[in-house]
Chains A and B, each alone.
Chain A
Amino acid sequence: MEAKVILKQDLAAWIDALVKQYEVIAPVTEDGVVVFRPVSGLSEMAIEGMVGPAKSLREHFTPPTETLFDYKLEDLSAEVIPPENEERHRVIFGARACDAAALLYVDAVYSNVEPIDTAYFMRREKTYLVGLFCDKPAWSCFCTEVGDFLTNPVAMDVYLTDLGNRYYAEPLTPKGEELIGLGNFRPADENDKAANEEIRRKALERLPKRAEHETACLSYDWDHPVWIELAKKCLSCGACAFLCPTCHCFDIQEHPKLKKGSRYRCWDTCQFEKFTLMASGHNPRETRKERTRQRVFHKFKYSQERYCMLGCVGCGRCIAACPVNIDIRKVLEELEKTAVAK
């Protein structure tokens, strides 16, 4: 598929054309925080020089709270009412490569065993991703340590790179070509291609090299002292998990309203003490030692064993958000030290 270029002055018209056909979800700045939400035009968007979005794309595929069904109760009977399907197709504009890559992992989780998670896949199928190359990695970014999707994007339909006065656009799927067709694009020339390569090269220079987290974490140490160190400072909040684009665990809760009600799911995390607490009082992961270990091993070990991929895309949100500066890169370093020593 042929790369194209759009001048920034033509961007607004392209967005307008997209908005006519799709619900367009894009980064906006709200009270100083970048969040992805539906927009009606370029003027609302914070695309130019976008700093890292606070949240990943997760909320648009598995909302923080999602009704599973409603019900009505009569004396001895009940009626279950499934939720209405969302009909409109969406374009997520300005997605990060890491956040898009994370979708492949969540796809694996939600389709690994039958029945698949229909609500999630319905949203996945109806959503097209226009990604944006990330040329200003944050201090906490380490996507290049866990994969090469920054330069070989996955789960996207179009990949944009900001070339200053224009965007370089690579269509990655037929749908991507169709989306590009709605804007005033011209074929990319040698100049554009060189500029695109140069920007990518510069970004890669700044980022760490691919690390062997796969092997290092497979020869893992169940009683490694790092777990005790983490347990001391971890406060068992869910900031790391709730910002993580691959974290997918949820709770199912009831919202009763007298003779009717609904059942919903909401985000949950293995970092919360009650995650594994059973009614009997038994808790297999009772202390922070077990819980912090679970999170790291789930991402770097169990994920490989079950889904043959890493459960981390290196977006670094957990690092930036941790109130006590738990840095998963340092945890991996510690684990790798002993793995090498063994």
Chain B
Amino acid sequence: MRIENPYIPKLATIEKIITETWDTKTFRAVFKDEELRESFTYEPGQFQEISVFGVGEAPFCLTSSPTRKGFVEFSVKKIGSVTSALHEIDEGATIGIRAPLGNWFPYEEFKGKDLWFIGGGIGMAPLRSLLNFCLDNRKDYGKVNIIYGARSSGDLCFTYEFDEWQNSPNTELFLTIDKEEEGWNKNVGFVPAYVMDLKPSPKNAIAITCGPPIMIKFTLQNLKELGFEDNQIWTTLEMKMKCGIGKCGRCNIGPKYVCVDGPVFSYAQLKELPPEY
């Protein structure tokens, strides 16, 4: 039996803050405890509970790849009390972290397959962890395709990594925005429609998607139409969470807890759950 109190966060320092868009920032944090900093490891798709002392705690996916060690990253859209507080802190500030939590993408199963990352807006954050993981283990995977869309070019995150992504061997980046914009020479249109234009082949392929619920809904439909099987489609769910360790009951969907049985689910697994997400 573990004696440690599972609700106590580990202290970490905000080392770097990247302003992604007008409402989104990415934070890089390092644990204060040196030993933990060295030993800490996680899997792509897992999440963490971030504490801003005096405000509260909220779950965020680990957007960094475990292949890049010594720090954790998380992207935050300013939307509630904890996210707003995070947007106000400076580099050097202390936060609390409980991590890693939840399950992860079965990247072993994805080996040797073509990957289609399909992200919308801030939904790219959890995909980025797996994406960079795969790019750092490039030889294990087939062609890597990234479809990434946002409302406008100004809403795209991780733009500073686009070059790295595009220039990786056998990797292609497809960008799209919802509406025409001056100077935009990439695709215009919603992500699900762009998926239909690009017609990914389901043959020996895996699709990993995350974004706003409406985008996921139509992307799933379209992938099915293109012949993707339920177990070829993976996503990561968002649900209100508090404890992150399967106790508080909040993220309960049917017999599952998103915080421990998820957040990563295949479409086949999702269909087994009551439609309450």
Contacts and interface: CB of A to CB of B under 8 A. Distances in A.
A119 B6 CA distance: 9
Nearest to A119: B5
A117 B54 contact: no
A68 to B, nearest CB: 4
A316 B177 CA distance: 56
B109 interface: no
Contacts of A121: 1
B25 to A, nearest CB: 15
B102 to A, nearest CB: 11
- Quick one: which of A110, A113, A115, A302 has the most chain B CB within 10 A? A115
Interface string A74-104: 0011101011000000000000000000000
Interface stretch (B36-44, B66-74, B203-211, B235-243): B235-243
B9 A80 contact: yes
Interface stretch (A127-135, A282-290, A323-331): A282-290
Interface string B24-68: 000000000000000000000000000101111110000000000
B242 A252 contact: yes
A211 interface: no
A265 B255 CA distance: 23
A278 interface: yes
Contact of B250 (A68, A112, A263, A276): A276
A277 interface: yes
Nearest to B237: A284
A253 B8 contact: no
B183 interface: no
The B interface, classified by DSSP as helix, strand, loop or mixed, is loop
B100 to A, nearest CB: 12
Contacts of B227: none
Contacts of A110: 247
Contacts of A23: none
B219 interface: no
A26 B151 CA distance: 61
A77 B94 contact: yes
Contact of B53 (A68, A71, A83, A118): A71
A114 B247 CA distance: 10
A197 interface: no
Contact of B248 (A222, A249, A254, A279): A249
Contacts of B11: 77-78, 80
B274 A222 contact: yes
- Contact-residue bracket for chain B: 35 or more
Contact of B79 (A68, A119, A279, A284): A279
A68 B8 contact: yes
B226 interface: no
Contacts of A214: none
A224 interface: no
B94 A117 contact: no
Nearest to B122: A280
A73 B6 contact: no
Interface in B168-222: 213
Interface string A287-320: 0001000100110011001100000000000000
B140 to A, nearest CB: 29
A222 B242 CA distance: 27
A275 interface: yes
B17 interface: no
B9 A117 contact: no
A109 B247 contact: yes
Given A73-B54, A76-B94, A254-B56, A115 B245 contact: yes
Interface string A232-261: 000000000000000011111110100001
A263 B277 CA distance: 28
A160 interface: no
Contacts of A107: none
A263 B247 CA distance: 16
23 contacts: A68-B7, A73-B54, A77-B94, A115-B6, A115-B245, A116-B1, A118-B3, A121-B1, A248-B247, A249-B248, A250-B248, A251-B242, A252-B248, A256-B53, A256-B55, A263-B7, A263-B51, A268-B248, A275-B250, A278-B239, A279-B58, A294-B276, A302-B255
Interface of B: 1-9, 11, 13, 51, 53-58, 79-80, 83, 92-94, 96, 213, 238-240, 242-243, 245-250, 252-257, 260, 274, 276-277
